Structure 1
């Protein structure tokens, strides 16, 4: 075991990894119009550059525990950071959209391993009495990334080139690889046999489904490839369900869904993503292509979402303790839907104060609903189920981001074809997209109504809420 003085260093290494990952998840949004122009692709068809990263993270998260046990935490962490940086360099050098998507997949593979391995290293190495300080230090970096990402992305597009939104990962990654060698032990575990059959069925099924949804959002699509991908993806996922049913050694055991609150929380997570996760993708496009704002202005306008999310976390515990999980979640879902609907009445003459207030409202609702539903998801699982439950939750969160963006893109494409792509007609397309997206919140509320009034009571007051 390393010297106790290295515990803080280990937390800093994990913080650097989380900062890179959270920054990269948001920095691309404001730069998409500039990237699309350089790569000669319509800005409305750039969504796969974001989806590919989230999908890759979701696909490879289930392999992290197995890889750490087999190769050691330090080895896997360093390889993950190197892969992430390599993907960043490839993104900056991408000559076309297809190359950028491939590079984002490489980034996502690195990102899938970075944070789970860093968390595992902290759990294995840091004494219990110092664990909270390590978590807080790491979490702070994760909260700064989403605030800084849109602003930095917009600033770099205006004052440098879009390539720098990826190249800034190089020095951070190099420092992380070097520092990890000084503060992280290469701890291995009992090597477990990996369920490769289940992994391949699940991974290929998700790839097919996500690719099909993305292709549906494009103006010019190949029907055979589009619907073929959807059918193959759905078919493989159905086969996985049959394969995993009753199989406790499956990579993602279905027995977890016998826990009612876990099932409802996972379903709620998907509806939250469908109704709200496309918003950070749609807003920069609307601000720049419809309102005529600069990329830098678009970045500053997105910052209130993340800033309010951070600020609101300080009161979420008090609200849940006072009103309970069911009441809080249903109220938050309703307020979130109203916040998204309000965006449909914006135009290029709307006062910036009104836009900022609306985005702060949306950010607060998202912070509340995600914290509550994610805490409730794992609250009733047994200790032996907690690891698998946390993995499934992480996968659903990442896949949900991709699905939310893909569905938003499909809806926007339909309305663009109906209204048009210029001026006020384009603004109508965005407005109706926001209104349609808010309808998913109705399904969310119907899901949350099935919660019991007492669900989550054992998590109140003494619980440590998580995002």
Structure 2
């Protein structure tokens, strides 16, 4: 298997994950500088996910219409422009707007990268390709918290966004030379009605939940936005059934394998959105640590994520998708719940052990889940699968951020206490319970599902997965 393509594509994931972890670690400092609270500033995190939810549906159409390679490179440039705008922001509104621009770039960047990978990789090598794709992306969480914390503590948070400028420009140049040419293909007109309905639905639901959890805005605004989003989602489903070429073709979900993978992944990603938001706040507001010290603790989960790459293919070959996903969804939720019991007196080696194990379990789940989405569909369906899965992923991550804020704010309203250890105890347990629900869709997955990709029961490893494949 050619590893150059997934490694180059991973530049996009690196920047996205780097930004997510850097912002979470630096949230209190940024909030203080622009005159707002850390909980309110989570609107900037939500704005990014709202932009993703709005623009991801057109990513597959744009890749076909203009060429996947060209769209991928242009998306990186948009993301870099948004990063520069973040660094120049001086108010909550400016920062939220800049994050929205970043989301517009990310909406094309990561889904198109996955599309290029799926179309250029044989199904038998897809698990290994997905694992290689994740390695540089996981370096973002590895270096993001300590670098972001160090810069925030000893310099200024503004500089954390400038990191994306050289990375992005290098990514554009290298992608132009390395990625395979995928010329435009004939496509019909964009489904404008579907695009508008899908945008209102996803943005309304995500933003509405965020507003409900924000103490600075009237809850009525959030509930009204939620209702508008739900109504648009219902209208889109009706539209998609009648349209010849809907922007998100829900008929793909008639196939039980991608349907189960997307449903389970959406539930599990609630935790993926909530934990990076909650952990830095726990360490800084609950433990009184500096952003740098907080980052040194939170980055350790990426060690487990990176170590996973060397076991993913073997685990799937020995146990198959169903067993791996059941085990990792339950263990991931349990390790998430363990965060609730951290206190300022908890030994750091215990915290690090839990975070490393959580990173390993979480990464194995997502490697398997991402590969399962494409395990039993053909290349013609890949762009639709990429778009639908990406929308579901980003909406659920945004919901995780919103739900985490709701738990913290609910605790404050019910007890009158300021955000402290007891609030984080409730939030982590609540989020872990929601994440554990990811196991229920997997219970309906056939044991032999995705066998051509996992190699389970084939008696020999898939091509490119021999004993020296990790070298």
Could you tell me the TM-score, scaled by structure 1's length?
0.88
Query: How far apart are 1:295 and its partner, in Å?
Result: 0.5
Of 392-401 and 132-141, more deviation after overlay is shown by 132-141
Counterparts of 2:107 and 2:312 in 1: how far apart (Å)?
28
Query: How far apart are 1:431 and its partner, in Å?
Result: 0.5
Q: Are residues 1:338 and 2:323 paired? A: no
Counterparts of 2:190 and 2:204 in 1: how far apart (Å)?
22
Counterparts of 1:417 and 1:169 in 2: how far apart (Å)?
39
Query: How far apart are 1:132 and its partner, in Å?
Result: 11
SS of the equivalent of 1:289 reads helix
Structure 1 residues 16 and 265: alpha-carbon distance in aligned structure 2, compared to 1, 3 A threshold: closer
Name which of 129, 139, 146 aligns with 1:151: 146
Residue 222 of structure 2 is matched in structure 1 by 226
Residue 301 of structure 1 is matched in structure 2 by 297
Query: How far apart are 1:282 and its partner, in Å?
Result: 0.1
Contact preservation (8 Å) 2:26, 2:291: yes
Residue 43 of structure 1 is matched in structure 2 by 38
Q: Are residues 1:31 and 2:35 paired? A: no
Residue 379 of structure 1 is matched in structure 2 by 375
Name which of 187, 206, 212 aligns with 2:208: 212
Query: How far apart are 1:27 and its partner, in Å?
Result: 1.8
Contact preservation (8 Å) 2:127, 2:312: no
Counterparts of 1:290 and 1:132 in 2: how far apart (Å)?
39
Name which of 284, 298, 314 aligns with 1:288: 284
Query: How far apart are 1:251 and its partner, in Å?
Result: 0.9
Counterparts of 2:269 and 2:289 in 1: how far apart (Å)?
26
Q: Are residues 1:408 and 2:391 paired? A: no
Counterparts of 2:350 and 2:332 in 1: how far apart (Å)?
16
SS of the equivalent of 2:344 reads coil
Residue 468 of structure 2 is matched in structure 1 by none
Structure 1 residues 429 and 79: alpha-carbon distance in aligned structure 2, compared to 1, 3 A threshold: same
Counterparts of 2:56 and 2:29 in 1: how far apart (Å)?
31
Residue 452 of structure 1 is matched in structure 2 by 446
Structure 1 residues 158 and 388: alpha-carbon distance in aligned structure 2, compared to 1, 3 A threshold: same
Of 38-47 and 117-126, more deviation after overlay is shown by 117-126
Residue 16 of structure 2 is matched in structure 1 by 21
1:79-98 to 2 correspondence within 5 Å?
Answer: 79-98=74-93
Q: Can you give the 5+ residue segments of structure 2 that lack an aligned partner in the other structure? A: 456-460, 466-471
SS of the equivalent of 1:245 reads helix
Contact preservation (8 Å) 2:268, 2:436: no
Structure 1 residues 122 and 343: alpha-carbon distance in aligned structure 2, compared to 1, 3 A threshold: closer
Q: Are residues 1:170 and 2:177 paired? A: no
Contact preservation (8 Å) 1:53, 1:107: yes
Q: Are residues 1:242 and 2:216 paired? A: no
CA displacement, residues 264-302 of structure 1 (integer Å, 9 cap, x when unaligned): 221111211224430111000010011011111111111
Contact preservation (8 Å) 2:130, 2:371: no
Residue 458 of structure 2 is matched in structure 1 by none
1:182-221 to 2 correspondence within 5 Å?
Answer: 187-221=183-217
Structure 1 residues 93 and 296: alpha-carbon distance in aligned structure 2, compared to 1, 3 A threshold: same
Query: How far apart are 1:443 and its partner, in Å?
Result: 2.5
Contact preservation (8 Å) 1:219, 1:413: yes
Of 341-350 and 77-86, more deviation after overlay is shown by 77-86
SS of the equivalent of 1:193 reads coil
Residue 313 of structure 2 is matched in structure 1 by 317
Residue 357 of structure 2 is matched in structure 1 by 361
SS of the equivalent of 1:324 reads helix
Residue 386 of structure 2 is matched in structure 1 by 390
Of 434-443 and 295-304, more deviation after overlay is shown by 434-443
Q: Can you give the 5+ residue segments of structure 1 that lack an aligned partner in the other structure? A: 1-6
Counterparts of 2:122 and 2:311 in 1: how far apart (Å)?
29
Residue 469 of structure 2 is matched in structure 1 by none
Counterparts of 2:45 and 2:348 in 1: how far apart (Å)?
27
Structure 1 residues 411 and 118: alpha-carbon distance in aligned structure 2, compared to 1, 3 A threshold: closer
Structure 1 residues 365 and 46: alpha-carbon distance in aligned structure 2, compared to 1, 3 A threshold: same
Counterparts of 2:364 and 2:172 in 1: how far apart (Å)?
35
Could you tell me the TM-score, scaled by structure 2's length?
0.87
Q: Are residues 1:440 and 2:434 paired? A: yes
Residue 4 of structure 1 is matched in structure 2 by none
Contact preservation (8 Å) 1:275, 1:439: no
Contact preservation (8 Å) 1:416, 1:426: no
Residue 3 of structure 1 is matched in structure 2 by none
Of 239-248 and 183-192, more deviation after overlay is shown by 183-192
Counterparts of 2:323 and 2:138 in 1: how far apart (Å)?
26
Counterparts of 2:120 and 2:374 in 1: how far apart (Å)?
24
Counterparts of 2:225 and 2:119 in 1: how far apart (Å)?
41
Query: How far apart are 1:177 and its partner, in Å?
Result: 4.5
Of 72-81 and 330-339, more deviation after overlay is shown by 72-81
Structure 1 residues 346 and 19: alpha-carbon distance in aligned structure 2, compared to 1, 3 A threshold: closer
